[in-house]
Chain A
């Protein structure tokens, strides 16, 4: 572990000569902050020797302004009053670096997000606040110290959590780049939701036909260690070296021996709802998840098994031992983590008005399974109540989407998948009357608009207006709604009602988020660090998210994100080491009494008492939050870049007020 120490550079010997740079950001700042006034005010502050303004400070021209002042005017501290350090701090730090000034002698004041934007209606006070913040930045800058980045070694291996289409792509890309990949999947087989689909929009490719070869490639890639029927039990460590504990659930089947022949299932007398077919038919207590499963191995459902041992007797390779009960635990280290845990579907029982209890009210995924040749009806569309072919089908869109009572967001895929269903049904059964009740049709992807047009051409009827309720009338269903274009109430008497249910964050995502120390948004999906610029990064460095676990998305986007996350993880691991900011806590040993107050308070478990009677900070884990420093009774912990003196100066500046 790198030891913390600071090297004094010659620039600190000079007394502070501060340059203040005020950015207009076009009219973003200048529109409501009086730049002239702010510039004049900044000139009055002590240690400030140059104040400049610029239309776009982050432009090359703007950066050169700062560089020239450092080189020619001897500026040794820089305060930029502009936008958010989140997006621009790195840029300006590099500016200082290229002018041979230590990059930590830079302070950024956000007078856009904190002044001009929120107070755009009150120019006077926006300007006043900008002055306050700049004063505070200047006072702090006077106390800044040069710091050096640290190197941290990074293991060249990755964990991918979730074996759906996004995780498969991330794993394959990482493995192809030469990294060792652990792919952990909760179900017996990889494939995810895509394995349950019949056809995929917008080209109507058979889902299995395009997915299965990738699944096979996963199992044939030596770099990928496939851990299915497994869950993440614990994660510790930090970027570059995470320690992972995986619980491999007990299958009671020795997968080394199992050849996937399926004889065990044939003899098993216990019938259980088949989750893969949305519980529309039965599987056995010992089963192979589906026909193209990877790995093609049997699993004993321990909760349902009656221990009759018929399977054990039948198995010709002697793979089954039903006395095996204990889960297996596997531990390994990885340099980075990619989370691709997918999604779950909205529970339509929560919209009771759609009468999901009725056998002929089904979800889209249930219809998808029915349409699939390997599904419960072998590809035939039949009313679950009596097995008769429906004459009229109504699709109800946005069930659990765009609804403040359930999920306020759009699930993005439902419009196009219902169109897909309608089209495929019309192609197979042109005589069936199909209605799609929508509120907006959001066919946003490449080729989707054409896909929608073809559905219209096939005579699918699109009715704009939410459906109020579904009622059972004899052996049929009355769908009551509104037709926006007609301006009238309408009703459809249907034989089958298909609910286009929303995509939701997968069950267990909160728990996983806690294990990984990453955030979820208010909808429960994992949160990216920046919605536009860092779509697969999380607030834990080295952990990336991809696919539907980040938010509803269709296959092309999930694949794209899986590949993006693989690329982000690769670029992190490729050098074998990374620079980390020295913004961590430092123990001043002479002052430390080893009371261990800090150890108990640290959220990140970054401070530990060592065997040689010392408190040690793990700089990879430390986030520099400063809790330890504030709590230390003997003032023995220095929070780099946020020293007591630096913070006090800021407080002083803010409490002194401005002229």
Chain B
């Protein structure tokens, strides 16, 4: 498909900068990022192309597709980028912009709800059983006590993450966990 480069989203690049991809302008498409990317050959996440698309303002080609959520955040591209353009930071920025548009994958929603309701990224009851099995001392982290979970809920509620990550009061975690709530 022929791409017309006029009238693209000129604000995209500024927004990416604002949302953390501060050095995206430095990119000169050398391909170092893509060449060491662990997911490039198995997914549609083509980081060199994404960097270029940001510079050209081709937002529909990035944000409407799920590719940016296929990054494992291994930071190999950021580490090796000869221009310090910070491709991983650009991915984070794009995810943030994408989340504002309501695009967010299920796994992110699940992890966020777990953290919000259980204090941890994974469910807690299963963990407590495993701890008993190996004679581990009683759990002392956030998942052990509702008062800590409330602390986390309170601070998360002071940000926009609840909305962006679709955190729900009626969340039902997987397995045998119960939600800590008032």
Contact = CB atoms under 8 A, between A and B. Distances in A.
Are A and B close enough to touch in the complex, i.e. CB under 8 Å? yes
Contact of A459 (B4, B25, B28, B52): B25
Contacts of A488: 1-3
Contacts of A486: 3, 49, 52-53, 56, 58
A477 to B, nearest CB: 11
Contacts of A290: none
A461 B3 contact: no
A274 interface: no
B136 interface: no
Interface residues of B, number: 21
B3 A483 contact: yes
Contacts of B3: 483, 486, 488-491
Interface residues of A, number: 24
A452 to B, nearest CB: 8
Contact of A489 (B2, B28, B49): B2
Contact of B4 (A433, A457, A487, A490): A490
B13 interface: yes
A492 B28 contact: no
Interface string B45-77: 000110011011010000000000000000000
Contacts of A453: 26, 83
Contacts of A493: 4, 6
Given A491-B5, A492-B6, A441 B29 contact: no
Nearest to B6: A493
A483 B27 CA distance: 15
Contacts of A464: 29
A490 B29 contact: no
A488 B5 CA distance: 11
A456 B26 contact: yes
A82 B1 CA distance: 61
Contact of B5 (A435, A457, A459, A487): A435
Contacts of A459: 13, 25
Nearest to A492: B5
B111 to A, nearest CB: 33
Contacts of A456: 25-28
A485 interface: yes
Nearest to A457: B25
A85 B65 CA distance: 67
A407 interface: no
Given A456-B25, A456-B26, A461 B6 contact: no
A462 interface: yes
A457 B26 contact: yes
B125 to A, nearest CB: 49
A457 B27 CA distance: 9
Contacts of B29: 462, 464, 484-485
A394 to B, nearest CB: 9
A463 B58 CA distance: 13
B6 A485 contact: no
Contacts of A487: 49
Interface string A105-117: 0000000000000
Nearest to B1: A488
Nearest to A479: B5
A431 to B, nearest CB: 9
Contacts of B58: 486
A491 B4 contact: yes
A433 B4 CA distance: 13
A487 to B, nearest CB: 8
A509 interface: no
Contacts of B27: 456
Nearest to A443: B28
A461 B26 contact: no
Q: Which of A441, A457, A485, A486 has the most B CB atoms < 10 Å from its CB?
A: A485
A462 B3 CA distance: 15
Interface in B16-54: 25-29, 48-49, 52-53
Interface in A442-499: 452-453, 456-457, 459, 461-464, 483-493
A485 B28 CA distance: 10
Interface string A148-180: 000000000000000000000000000000000
10 contacts: A433-B10, A453-B83, A456-B25, A485-B48, A486-B3, A486-B53, A486-B56, A486-B58, A488-B3, A489-B1
Interface of B: 1-6, 10, 13, 25-29, 48-49, 52-53, 55-56, 58, 83
